[in-house]
Amino acid sequence: MEEPEKPNSAKIYGAPLLGGAVAGVTVVTALYPLDTLKTRLQSQHGFYKSGGFNGVYRGVLTVATGAIPVTALFFVSYETIKNFAKPVVAPQYTPFVHMFAASFSEVLCCVIKVPVEIAKQRKQTYMGLEKRSSIRILLEAYKTEGFRKGVYRGFLSTVARDMPFSFIELPIWEALKGLVRERNGGEINGLQSAACGALAGCVAGAVTTPLDVVKTRVMLAGSAPRLRPLLADLYLQAGLRGLFTGLLPRIAGIMLGGFIFFGVYDDSKMFFEKYFDR
């Protein structure tokens, strides 16, 4: 009697890890100027005082370097949870698996993402830090503001923004890919996956823009404001327009980012799966 074939661990974990890393670096490098403009629009110092259209690639090395472990960790966690949960869950509950996997993975990768965002946004907004290294910025934040209020300032607001974003985006992406497969004999290519990712990102990005504005204000604040009063102040000062500051560059960036990110991720993941099958 033949023994059952052992699962290929390198393929199961290595393919999404490497695919996520490649996708993360690609999308960050391509769309960084849009992210800089969005951050400066949302800054309490004002767009032009925060740098305007100058130096839109300032801090890109910080984010490109941070994108590798962040996206790799996210997709390893996401795909692992899917692989374990889907065989034991009824098909009608599959969207809940995607929601849980995306939410849990997002919280996990925020441990790396938040310090990277702190360094990036302080460089982007020209707060006298544009020529300093990211490590120096974080060390100074730790010395002057402490671990929680300095290096991890805005952790909860980042989780509050990114967890709902992934909670919305990933299930929509998976559902759209399912529809494409149904109409295409069970097949889907990288371009189709990219289009599904762009649409899913557009919906999730629009819904979570107020949380993104709050997250930016918290990270750039001189002190550590609370989320609810800050959200209320934004609404009182500028109404819905204030809560959706930077909506257009955010959606434009996320749509383009989703198209590039998910297309590159699926193609890279398939490439590495074939590689590990050799």
Residues sharing a CB contact under 8 Å with residue 14, sequence separation 6 or more, in sequence order: 272, 276
Provide the percentage of residues in the chain whose pLDDT is more than 90.
20
Per-residue model confidence as pLDDT tens digits over 201-219? 999 999 888 888 877 777 6
CATH class of 9-276: mainly alpha
For the entire predicted model, the pTM comes to 0.71
Position 124 confidence tier, pLDDT thresholds 50, 70, 90: low
CA atoms of 278 and 28, how far apart (whole Å):
31
Give the single-character DSSP code of 14.
Answer: I
| Of 37, 56, 43, 45, residue with least CA distance to 215 | 43
Give the single-character DSSP code of 86.
Answer: G
Q: Which two tokens stand for residue 241?
A: 């327009």
Please count the residues of the chain.
278
Higher pLDDT residue, 154 or 167? 167
CA 195 to chain centre: 17
Widest Cα–Cα separation across the chain: 74
CA atoms of 105 and 171, how far apart (whole Å):
13
Q: Is residue 145 pLDDT above 70, yes or no?
A: yes
Averaged confidence pLDDT in the chain: 82
Q: What are the domain boundaries of the chain? A: 9-276
Position 147 confidence tier, pLDDT thresholds 50, 70, 90: confident
